[in-house]
Amino acid sequence: MLKFSKINILITTLLSIIVIFFTISNFTEFEDEFVNKKINLGLDLQGGSYLLLKIDNDPVIVKELQNKAISLKNVLKENNISVLNIRVTDDKKILLSINKKDADKLNQLFNDKNGIVNPYFDQFKSFQFEIANQEGNFEIFFSKYGLVQLKTSSLDQAIEIVRRRVDEVGTNEPNILKRGNDRILVELPGLDDPMRIKNLLGKTANLSFRFVTQTNEETFGAEELEFEDGSEVVNVSKRIIVSGENLIDAQPRMDNQTNETVVTFDFDRVGAKRFGRATTKGVGKRLAIVLDGKVISAPVIQEAIVAGSGQISGDFTFQSATDLALLLRSGALPAPLEIIEERTVGPGLGQDSIKSGLSALLIGFILVITFMLIKYRVFGIIANATLILNLFFLVGILTLFEATLTLPGIAGIILTVGMAVDANVLIFERIKEEIKNEKNQIIAFDAGYNKSRNAVLDANITTLIAAIILFFLGSGPIKGFAVTLGIGIFTTLFSVYFIARLFTSIYVIRNKNKEQLI
Amino acid sequence: MIQNLNFNKYYKLFNIISVVLVILSIISILFKGLNYGVDFKGGTLIELRINDNQTTISNLRSAFNNMNLGDVAIKNFGNDNDYLIKFVKKDRDKNLIQNIKKDLQSSIGPVFEFRRVESVGPKVSAELLNKGLIAIAASLGAMLFYIWIRFEWQFSLGAIIALFHDVILTIGIFSLFNIEINLSIVAALLTIVGYSMNDTVVIFDRVRENLKKHISIKIFELTNISINETLSRTIITSATTLLALLSIFIFGGEILKGFSLAMILGVIFGTYSSIYIANPTLVYLKVSYKTVVKEDK
């Protein structure tokens, strides 16, 4: 065990230089991309906001079913199946009643893998919809994979919109990730008050331009909608003239004539055409601008607007106009988002955590090396030198992978300092025992290393198992703890068997004739 | 060097004490319950710093009680100017934090700073709790598996009993003293599982080696010899680990207090149980030379 080949020493030295370099690289700047690596600080250390959003897919499902019901009606008509009744129920099903004699035909339509009525997903081996027969009444609902597909596509759309909105606000390197099939994780480093982002993400931003109807009653084609400021309730036609999808730009402006803040917008060609036609016919009518079921304003159309642009006024402050324009530009979310978890750390606390974490590390480190020095003298120096290199390896590897360091992560490093000496202690104690029965120091040292190996490996594997489980099941800051603890075990084993053993062998071989080396 | 202490003389005594402590812990966990933090219970936590000397905790109490937030818990956090405020509000309002800021501004003035806000919905907290329990169960299962392939069943049983002993006592103390259980405590418990196992396994390795070396010595004596032989290591490793943990506990800031406390308890229990739980189990199960040799062939 005490023999070292030259190549072995060379590699160890080289690796040590590399990790020391990367440890130092945290505190300097390099031109080169590859070497300029730094440990990322977690949100708990640099401050920032963590938001977990959940998509409420229910409205999407209902909307899809409504569309399906309408298209189904037409398809059935083409196939000479007469529909007695069709409606979407509250428990997300289409209820369809037809003549009993057409039941087979309907089943055929729904089980045709190449048909358009019920799309078949080859990758899931499943249809989009399932159909259940209940005495001439049919229930049509999304299959398991139909729902998966719907949720995936709604998540894809939503994450794109979320990204646009967050990017527009211009925060520092946001991190936006999918979580499961209906959640979005938004990490905003450096943001200590996520209020504005929360507001922006909390709005679906469904915009529509619709006529205010003349009648005062809620009818089939109209609905009662309230103004956003609660000042008025109007009857608005359900027929949408133009929706937010046709917007290509929106900006906050100051109206020179009225000195009001307004939001100006531009339609695409389709939107411009429709808007032009509707406003030409509807001069004198009120046009409601509806956002998320609330009327922003409902001005009377003075003249046809054919240029494809216009403006919305409605008691905006500059901030609210800016946000509305931003929402309109970024587009509507497919479904509402709810914030189900929020964690925000202010920059002050982050700084304090770094300070206290580092001082705990420094003090813990000093305590441990002092203890080892008193207990083992020369071998204490070896153990301590190993411990220092071990720290360089740990920090160097974290830097190399640009891992995220959290406060529990720092705790993991301190714990590694405390537990890393264990391997050396196991070995040294074993050597002491071996020396009692063995006069030749080199043989005794060799035996000490050999016989303690099982215990050292066992002891480290158990901790590693805990770290791995924590890594896969832990979240956020805790993951950082698992990472430092886990990497710490590997660096500890490496530094004990390659570095400490090298120092030990050099020392023992030089002093093999002295009495009582350890 | 300390050598030949008669640990085995006290096996029975400490076993009885341990059984009593485990029962007390379980009673406390079952009847007194655990003080779950927002991670597991859901709700909102605000760490607040007051920047003047006039505002007292009772000012804060009355300010928060007027906000209609339900049951609000307010306590000092680390020093006189930092407070931790916790409440669970059923109806979730996305402007909640903003409104609290405004209300607080009008009642105590702009003399405060929100240092940390954590808000966890009921669904997420239930998931986190579930995940935490799975993590603890998985780590116990993984240790069981590891020790099962590594040692004979008598050893496995001893190590697992010691493991449960350590985890139950640690949770028991958290229950008894009403210390908050959050995500970092789960991390600590998992690390304790690793540490407890580590400590037991090192002594077991030695017991196994000695069983083959001293065939005639009875297991009662043999465990004592093995404990003594590994005692220096046990003490030194526990000492350095405890030094590191004490440093976190004292200097690592308020957020790591619970975590390091759990770990400190875990290391103490882990060291104790390796000697007084794991080893007596070998004695009770009448482990002998045959136990290890048969399995080796």
B117 and A343 within 8 Å at the Cβ level: the answer is: yes
Instruction: Output the CA–CA distances (angstroms, integers) from residue A320 to A292, B186, B221, in the order listed.
Output: 15, 43, 80
With contact defined as beta carbons under 8 Å apart, do A265 and A328 qualify? Answer: yes
Are A210 and A290 spatial neighbours (Cβ–Cβ below 8 Å)? yes
pLDDT of residue A103: 81
- 3-class secondary structure per residue, B142-199: HHHHHHHHHCCHHHHHHHHHHHHHHHHHHHHHHHHCCCEECHHHHHHHHHHHHHHHHH
**Closest approach of A57 to chain B, Cα-based (Å):** 16
Residues of chain A in contact with residue B50, where contact means CB-CB under 8 angstroms, are none
* Sequence letter at residue A182: D
Interface test with B, best of A185, A424, A473, A516 (most B CBs within 10 A): A473
Return all residues near A240 (Cβ < 8 A) that are at least 6 apart: A208, A209, A210
* Domain A6-45+348-510 = CATH 2.40.50.180: no
Mean pLDDT computed over B257-284: 96
Contacts of residue B246 in chain A, CB cutoff 8 Å?
364, 367
- Inter-chain touch B244–A346, beta carbons under 8 Å: no
Q: What is the pLDDT of residue B92?
A: 66
Q: Which residue of B has its CA nearest to A473?
A: B135
How distant, in Å, are the alpha carbons of B57, B85, B107 from that of B65? Answer: 12, 11, 11
Q: B87 forms bridges with which residues in the sheet?
A: B44, B72
Q: Which of A195, A371, A411 sits opposite B240 (nearest CB)?
A: A371
Contact B187 A352 (CB under 8 A): no
The percentage of chain B sitting over the pLDDT mark of 90, rounded to a whole number, equals 77
A301 min Cα distance to partner chain B (Å): 36
Q: Is B119 within 8 Å of A341 when comparing Cβ atoms?
A: yes
Q: Do B232 and A344 touch (CB under 8 A)?
A: no
Cα–Cα dist B252/A407, whole Å: 9
Please tell me which of the candidates B116, B132, B251 has its beta carbon nearest to residue A345. Answer: B116
* Cα–Cα–Cα angle for B279, B282, B285, rounded to 5 degrees: 150
Assign A99 to helix, strand or coil.
coil
* Residues of B whose CB is below 8 A from A292: none
Closest CA–CA distance from residue A233 to any residue of chain B (Å): 25
Cβ pairs A/B, distance under 8 A: 220
Which residues of chain B does A359 touch, with a Cβ-Cβ cutoff of 8 Å?
Answer: 251
pLDDT recorded at residue A192 = 79
* CB-CB under 8 Å, B232 with A429: yes
Of B169, B259, B242, B168, nearest in space to B199 by CA:
B242
Give the closest residue to B87 by CA, choosing from B75, B103, B70, B100: B70
Amino acid at B81: N
- Specify the 3-state DSSP secondary structure of A146: helix
Kindly give, in sequence order, each residue whose CB lies less than 8 Å from that of residue A211, ignoring residues fewer than 6 positions away: A236, A237, A239, A241, A278, A282, A285, A286, A287, A288
Q: What is the ipTM of this complex?
A: 0.92
Helices first, then strands: H and E counts in chain B: 12, 6
CA of B81 vs chain A CAs: smallest distance (Å): 13
Residue with tokens 């930092």: B82
pLDDT tier for residue B1 given thresholds of 50, 70 and 90 = very low
pLDDT band with cut points at 50, 70 and 90 for residue B295 = low
- What class has domain A207-316? alpha beta
Query: Chain A partners of B256 at a C-beta cutoff of 8 Å?
Result: 356-357, 360, 407-408, 411
Q: Which of A199, A458, A467 lies closest to B202 in CB terms?
A: A458
Q: Which two tokens stand for residue A291?
A: 């956002």
Measured CA distances, A114 to A71, A118, A127 (Å): 17, 9, 11
Contact B247 A414 (CB under 8 A): yes
* Mean pLDDT, rounded, for B72-88: 91
> Which chain A residues are within 8 Å of B49, Cβ to Cβ?
348
Q: Do B135 and A469 touch (CB under 8 A)?
A: yes
Contact A478 B184 (CB under 8 A): yes
Q: What is the pLDDT of residue A391?
A: 95
* CB-CB contact of B286 with B205 (8 Å): no
**In CATH, which of 3.50.90.10, 3.30.1330.40, 2.40.110.10, 3.30.70.3400 is domain B43-119?**
3.30.70.3400
Contacts of A419 in chain B (CB under 8 A): 195, 237, 240-241, 244
Q: What is the DSSP secondary-structure string of A341-383?
A: EEEEE-HHHHHHHHHHHHHHHHHHHHHHHHHHHHHHTHHHHHH
Residues of B in contact with A52 (CB under 8 A): 124
C-alpha pair distances (Å), A386 with each of A21, A139, A418, A421: 17, 71, 13, 9
Mutate to test the interface with A, among B83, B91, B100, B236 (most CBs of A within 10 A): B236
Query: Two tokens at B177?
Result: 């003293």
- Contact between A484 and A409 under an 8 Å Cβ cutoff? The reply is yes
Q: A245 with A332: CB under 8 angstroms?
A: yes
Cβ distance B61 to B74 under 8 Å?
yes
Consecutive sets of 10 residues in chain A, 518 residues long: mean pLDDT of each?
Answer: 80 93 87 83 93 92 89 85 85 86 83 84 87 81 91 93 90 89 93 86 91 73 85 88 91 87 92 92 90 90 88 87 91 91 93 96 96 93 95 95 93 93 92 87 90 90 93 87 95 94 89 76
Model-level pTM?
Answer: 0.88
3-class DSSP state of A511: coil
Alpha-carbon dihedral sign for residues A367, A369, A375, A377: negative
Tell me what pLDDT residue A177 has. Answer: 94
Q: From A434, which residue of chain B is nearest by alpha-carbon distance?
A: B229
Beta carbons of B280 and B222 less than 8 angstroms apart: no
Instruction: Mark yes or no for CB contact A195/B135 under 8 Å.
Output: no
Is A262 exposed, middle or buried, given 0-12, 13-18 or 19+ CB atoms closer than 10 A?
buried
Q: Which of A195, A360, A463 sits opposite B247 (nearest CB)?
A: A360
In CATH, what is the architecture of B7-37+124-296? Up-down Bundle (1.20)
Torsion of CA A161, A163, A166, A171, to 10 degrees: -170
Q: Does A469 contact B142 at a Cβ distance shorter than 8 Å?
A: yes
Mutate to test the interface with A, among B213, B228, B229, B255 (most CBs of A within 10 A): B255
Q: Which residues of A touch B195 (CB under 8 A)?
A: 419, 462-463
Domain boundaries, chain B: 7-37+124-296, 43-119
Please count the other Cβ atoms lying within 10 Å of the Cβ belonging to residue A432: 18
CA angle in degrees (0–180, nearest 5) for B131-B135-B141 = 140
Residue pair A45/A405 in contact by the 8 Å Cβ criterion: yes
How far is A86 from chain B, CA to nearest CA, in Å? 35
Tens digits of per-residue pLDDT, B187-239?
999 999 999 999 999 999 999 999 999 988 999 999 999 999 999 999 999 99
Residues near A168 by Cβ (< 8 Å), separated by ≥ 6? A326, A329, A330
